[in-house]
Amino acid sequence: MHKLYDTHFHLDLQKSKDEALTEIEQNKIYTIAVTNLPPLYEKLKNKVDNKYVRVALGFHPELLNQYQKYIPQMWSLLPDAKYIGEVGIDLKTSKDSKNLQVSFFEELITRCNSYGNKVLTIHSRMAASEVVSIIGDKFNGKIILHWYSGSKKIQDIAINNGFYFSVNHAMLNSESGRKIVANIPNDKLLIETDSPFVNISDSNCSQLIQIKQTIEDLALMKNIDINTFDNLLWKNFIDVISF
């Protein structure tokens, strides 16, 4: 595998950011470093100078209610941020703040549509219907549904709307996850680690190991030669991301 990438990686939550950056640099892993709050985005963006890393402006839905004071900062930073994430709606752990989450996400999509050319990596746990409905079928940018776990019906709508799906190793370890992955068209498939929240084993696995293992398992599942599959994944990445 000659070209590697990770569309959803929590660089700021790694045990050692320096070690993670060294691994990224040595292995040329093109990485979208998602963040969970606007001030964390600013902090990380000011510290990272690596041609393989792009820091994404995020506001995790689980944190929205507690940190509403940062919403104005999100809007002020949004015009200059090409990569947006982690954002979305979560109705599993944060159902009580549904109205706030929906309102915020609607505003985010409206603003991103207006600016254009944004790349969003989106959280939709138990909220796939809401997320896909709000985005619609004419989004002026690129949508990546991160770790999708919704129904096939909503997934098919998302596919028809041109959305991409980023897959991590954990998705391949459950029957429901494998069904979702099997339904993703090959040209809409992307790779993520969601590290440090996903590990192949109980021990902490490096980003490189997780990416390689996920690609190998996916190639086997899709019954595609590994080199052909590697090229397919890279083409998908290039179609979505401009580094």
What is this structure's pTM?
0.96
In whole angstroms, give the CA distance from residue 99 to residue 60: 15
pLDDT (average), residues 68-82: 98
In whole angstroms, give the CA distance from residue 91 to residue 162: 24
SS3 state at 9: strand
What would the pLDDT profile of 211-221 be if each residue is shown by its tens digit? 999 999 999 99
What is residue 24's predicted lDDT score, i.e. its pLDDT?
97
What is residue 203's predicted lDDT score, i.e. its pLDDT?
55
CATH number of 4-240: 3.20.20.140
Laid out side by side, the sheet with 118-123 consists of: 83-88, 118-123, 141-146, 164-167, 189-191
pLDDT of 202 > 80? The answer is no
What letter does residue 88 receive in the DSSP assignment?
A: E
Judge whether 120 and 78 are in contact, CB under 8 Å: no
Place 198 in a pLDDT band, splitting at 50, 70 and 90: confident
What is residue 181's predicted lDDT score, i.e. its pLDDT?
97
What letter does residue 57 receive in the DSSP assignment?
A: B
**Of 177, 144, 149, whose CA–CA distance to 7 is shortest?**
144
Percent of residues, the chain, with pLDDT higher than 90: 93
Q: Phi and psi for 196 in degrees, rounded to 5?
A: -95, 15
What would the pLDDT profile of 42-60 be if each residue is shown by its tens digit? 999 999 999 999 999 999 9
**Range 1-34 burial, b when 16+ CB lie within 10 A, else e:** beebbbbbbbbbbbeeeeebbebbeeeebbbbbb
What would the pLDDT profile of 152-179 be if each residue is shown by its tens digit? 999 999 999 999 999 999 999 999 999 9
Give the residue extent of every domain in the chain: 4-240
Average pLDDT value over all residues in the chain: 95
* Residue 86: cis peptide before it, omega within 30 degrees of 0: yes
